[in-house]
Amino acid sequence: MQFEHLLEINDPLNPLIDALTRDQLWRGLVMRAEMPKLFVDYLDESTITRTDAGLQRTLRYAALLVHDVVTFTPQERVHYDVPAQGEIPASSLVVTIEEPQPGALFVRFLYDDGKPEDDADAFYDEFRRSAYHEADIETIKVIRQLAEEGRLAQPM
């Protein structure tokens, strides 16, 4: 199943939302990879090793361990790659910053579990799409909160 959606970050028609800079948005997306517990409260533990290309992570959710690799294209893209492991099939998430005009920021989330669409799994897939969408909205909320707290102002 592939699932893709786009979230608008800066809405010039909504003065109640503080605009984020591309740099703040990028720092927030990197922080999501480096400090996943800030973004996923049901994550019990994470072990992170830095590599030349990005990060190797082990995430523990109760008894479930998930190993993944995160690579960065600075100021542009974060790619999460989960190799097949035990009962977990291979999957990926690509998070891309888009800026069609200066200051008009969007984030595209592209999920791929490597399986073709299947009518038998349609209900489950729709549930997963909804959960992914809600988690991504929450990610942007957390990034906004971090920006308000000044935690995205330090250079990376």
What are the pLDDT tens digits along the chain (156 aa)? 789 999 999 987 777 788 999 999 999 999 999 999 999 999 999 999 999 989 999 999 999 999 999 999 999 999 999 999 988 889 999 999 999 988 899 999 999 987 777 766 778 888 889 999 999 999 999 999 999 999 998 665
The amino acid that residue 59 corresponds to is L
Task: Please tell me the pTM assigned to this model.
Answer: 0.92
Q: Which of left, alpha, beta for 114 (phi over 0: left; psi -120 to 50: alpha)?
A: left
Q: Which of 138, 109, 92 is nearest to 6 (CA)?
A: 109
Cα(44)–Cα(101) distance, integer angstroms: 40
